[in-house]
Amino acid sequence: MDEEEKPEAIAEETELEEAKAPDAALEVKAEKKELIEPEHPIYKQVSELTFGMLSPMMIKKMASAKIVTPELYDKEGYPVDGGLMDIRLGVIDPGLRCKTCGSKLKECVGHFGYIALARPIIHLNFVPIILTHLRCTCRECGRILIAQDKIDKYGEKLKQFGMEKGEEQMRKKVKEIISKAGGKCPHCKAKQFKITVEKPTTIFEDDKRISPIEIRTRLEKITDSDVELFGLNPKATRPEWMVLTVMPIPPVTMRPSITLETGERSEDDLTHKLGDIVRINQRLFENINAGAPEIIVEDLWDLLQYHITTFFDNEVAQLPPARHRSGQPLKTLTERIKSKEGRIRHNLVGKRTNFSARTVISPDPMLDINEVGVPEIMALKLTVPERVTEWNMAHLKKFIERGPKKYPGANYIIRPDGKKKKLTEETIEQALEELQPGYVVERHLMDGDIAIFNRQPSLHRMSMMCHRVSVLPYKTLRLNPAVCFPYNADFDGDEMNLHIPQTEEAIAEAEILMLVQKQLISPRYGLSVIGCVQDAISGNYILTQKSFAMKREEAIDLLAQVGITEPSRLPRKETVTGKEIFSALLPEDFSYSGRSKSSEEPDVIIESGKLISGVMDKNNLGEGSGLLLRNIHKKYGEQVAVEFIGKVFRLGIETLMRRGFTTTVSDTDLPEKTDSEIKRLLEASRLEVEELIKSYKDGTLEAFPGRKLRETLELKIMEVLNRARNEAGIVVAKSADRSSHTMIMALSGARGTTINLAQMSATVGQQALRAKRIEKGYKYRTLSCFERNDMGPEAHGFIKNCFKKGLAPAEFFFQAMVGRDSLMDTALRTPKSGYLYRRLANAMQDLRVEYDLTVRDASKRIIQFMYGEDGIDVSKSEAGKINVKRIISEVTGE
């Protein structure tokens, strides 16, 4: 984030003041609107912003106290007038009133003070700019070291350049022009000397030190028109203001002292540092007035410079950091703001949420798809505010009676004046008595409440969906496995977050916009993002196969388990088929035709709520595939669609539960005939490769266009070996028992492929490293067990064994090579692509589709004349298309 969003052309002044400079400020020029009636808040309209530095005048003007003494409190413990805790600077003690604005603690935001410095001090953060000014202006006359005619000629161009590339670049350009000009002032012909710095704040001219007083007078001499050439606006920023003569004292409210248990007061780090500054400043004053020797004055001056520098930044490389007595460095202004623990990243960007929870997730298919299981321990802490009315008072009183420890109780009551009262054993009694309409009771989370559920990375709008709460025992958050897909969650230790909306508006909004069923259709491809997974697919596949049948009573029991208690949709027969059971879930007037994965019954036909042919597999029930779920959603609405998915899911699982489902090693056993066929196949391809190598050596091999002979050979060998693996796969798939559980998973699309099966039972095949055969290792060979220059399949990572038989040592090593490579690849690619996606999402975040279907950005510029070039809202389409045929048939005839 930080690196990516650095706007190019911020004014130098802005950049500096944002982080570091307390004496740089922004002035708001306000246009006064006509007087408004006193009851209404008086407001000003911002017409213009000017960025600049605080002038000494401004510092004095905004100060409400001049600080003259380092003492904090007098003997009575009352703040000293003119001290650093002066009550004109704001209140931090309860009961006191601010002398400046008259308001109490928390109401008064605090007021600045100032100290007049005995001698000018260089501001640490402006050293580079001060240097530029000194080097580029004449030491005698103060003019910029560019001849007048050149200024007239290039001045405007330079300013234009500054507007485009930023002040930093503009100053560089000025320096360039001057370095060409040579060592004399073109205006008064005075000789110029080299100016150097000894970090952090000591400046030398020709090896003689120049004091801040001298520097300040030089900066004062620069004319306003020359200042502009340095990219500063002389009205808001005079260069001499970069050398401090007065310093603002921050209000006490930003450096409050804390009272320890012993009654001792402990001051803030900033107050400590300011105390040092004021003390040394006073001593410097006294010494100057007493006419002390110059060495003493200069020593004190340097000390003051050190204290002021560390007040701004205590981590300056060349300076020893100022420390507490305990030796721990003080945290001054810069340290407060920057880095991960600083104000910006810790407090502003990294805000924390109340009424939220996070733990490990686990699956529970008996929950509805739009439910989330919340552990009771969480439900005791997470609360929902409920407003007391005449009608629900008795109801809410019961919650208060049960108190904070007994579920479902209440943790707090809020009085109409906003006062929050914690419920404890002792306060329950009193709370019950005072409760009346207008109070708010924060009762425990209960079944049916609304919660927003989220898993990071939230790349999607489906990464945050609204669920209904179901309070459950144990300690994990639970969700229906069907919603894993949109969250991209699994249960290998994933954690998820839960948020409980706290106002009626927030609850309504979450419910209307974010509920799971509202998010069903993906705006990316227009299909359901929620469908059956894994066992649910296997189960439905088995259920809807032709051969499946069960007794009617059993079927009724099965359906009851799924949630259908009304068995009238089952045909009145002794035994019913699986398809008939499945049909009981379908809406009664639903018709559909589609295709399934399987080659046995490829056509899926549903007529008026009856599955006539076809098996249910991943193509129809899976997430993001097939129009079955999409059409149900379209015709019957989201409620029916989620309920349907939930029921189908449970039906699949329940079927498997009753039937039994497992996978065994014997699923990978091959008949003898197949085994020998695969052997023959591998032998044939080995010979083919040998033949190729021979022709390569003979010189009879012909090169592919644009390829070297060696490359051609490699390509041809790769092709032969890959073909061998694929053919082995086909042979295995053909011979395998289609009713074995491993095959059922592969055929239904629930898990695994026939290639996985072939790798287990026939041959693992060629291992490829970056789309090539393995070539790394020793000189002229991959491993020392091969001969040099062996181009055969075995020597370059072809694994002819299968996983069941076991791999040869060399084969195992090749497999490990490729395995490690792909592991590293995914580990490195994930963050890279994540960052790429983030940048893309941020760049496009304010594009929107207008009513005229154009896509425009925030400034209403046209990006696309027709959204997606076809103007289709994908989330309202069927897989990105409009099915005109279906619409016509529906409108005309049905």
Site residues, another protein (CB under 8 A): 852, 854, 856, 859-863, 865-866, 868-872, 880
Q: For residue 273, what is the enclosing H or E element?
A: helix 269-289
Between 701 and 872, name the residue whose CB sits nearer to another protein. 872
Beta carbon of residue 49, minimum distance to another protein (angstroms, whole number): 24
In degrees, rounded to 5, the angle at the alpha carbon of residue 131 between the alpha carbons of residues 128 and 132 is 90
Beta carbon of residue 860, minimum distance to another protein (angstroms, whole number): 6
Beta carbon of residue 594, minimum distance to another protein (angstroms, whole number): 23
Residues 537 and 749: beta-carbon distance below 8 Å: yes
Q: Burial letters for 830-843: b for 16+ Cβ neighbours within 10 Å, e otherwise? A: eeeeeeeeeeeeee
Between 128 and 868, name the residue whose CB sits nearer to another protein. 868
Between 141 and 855, name the residue whose CB sits nearer to another protein. 855
Beta carbon of residue 884, minimum distance to another protein (angstroms, whole number): 14
What DSSP string runs through 682-716? HHHHHHHHHHHHHHHHHT-PPPPTTS-HHHHHHHH
SS (H, E, C) 528-555: ECCCECCHHHHHHHHHCCCCCEEEHHHH
Between 703 and 863, name the residue whose CB sits nearer to another protein. 863
SS3 643: helix
Residues 404 and 442: beta-carbon distance below 8 Å: no
The radius of gyration computed from the CA coordinates of the chain, to the nearest angstrom, equals 39
Beta carbon of residue 853, minimum distance to another protein (angstroms, whole number): 10
Between 317 and 858, name the residue whose CB sits nearer to another protein. 858
Between 447 and 852, name the residue whose CB sits nearer to another protein. 852
Beta carbon of residue 4, minimum distance to another protein (angstroms, whole number): 24
C-alpha to C-alpha distance for 884 and 868, rounded to whole angstroms: 19
Beta carbon of residue 9, minimum distance to another protein (angstroms, whole number): 19
Between 666 and 859, name the residue whose CB sits nearer to another protein. 859
Beta carbon of residue 462, minimum distance to another protein (angstroms, whole number): 23
Residues 94 and 47: beta-carbon distance below 8 Å: no
Residues 584 and 608: beta-carbon distance below 8 Å: no
Beta carbon of residue 862, minimum distance to another protein (angstroms, whole number): 6
Cβ count within 10 A of residue 252: 27
Sorted by sequence, the CB contacts under 8 Å of residue 720 that are 6+ apart come out as 685, 688, 689, 692
* Among candidate residues 309, 283, 356, 349, the one with its CA nearest the CA of residue 118: 283
Beta carbon of residue 868, minimum distance to another protein (angstroms, whole number): 5
* Cα–Cα distances in angstroms (integers) from residue 287 to residues 121, 214, 273, in the given order: 17, 20, 21
Beta carbon of residue 369, minimum distance to another protein (angstroms, whole number): 31
C-alpha to C-alpha distance for 830 and 488, rounded to whole angstroms: 14
Q: Which residues pair with 244 in a beta bridge?
A: 121
Between 55 and 854, name the residue whose CB sits nearer to another protein. 854
Beta carbon of residue 869, minimum distance to another protein (angstroms, whole number): 4
Cβ count within 10 A of residue 104: 12
What torsion, rounded to 10 degrees, do the Cα atoms 277, 280, 282, 285 define?
-120
Beta carbon of residue 848, minimum distance to another protein (angstroms, whole number): 14
Between 1 and 858, name the residue whose CB sits nearer to another protein. 858
Beta carbon of residue 726, minimum distance to another protein (angstroms, whole number): 30
- HSE at residue 455, side-chain half, CA atoms within 13 A, is 20
Between 220 and 857, name the residue whose CB sits nearer to another protein. 857
Between 319 and 872, name the residue whose CB sits nearer to another protein. 872
Q: What is Dmax (Cα atoms) for the chain? A: 119
Between 342 and 880, name the residue whose CB sits nearer to another protein. 880
Between 35 and 858, name the residue whose CB sits nearer to another protein. 858
* Cα–Cα distances in angstroms (integers) from residue 95 to residues 88, 102, 105, 488, in the given order: 15, 12, 7, 55
Q: What are phi and psi of 392, to 5 degrees?
A: -110, 10
Residues 795 and 781: beta-carbon distance below 8 Å: yes
Between 416 and 871, name the residue whose CB sits nearer to another protein. 871
SS3 49: strand
Cis bond before residue 457 (omega within 30° of 0): yes
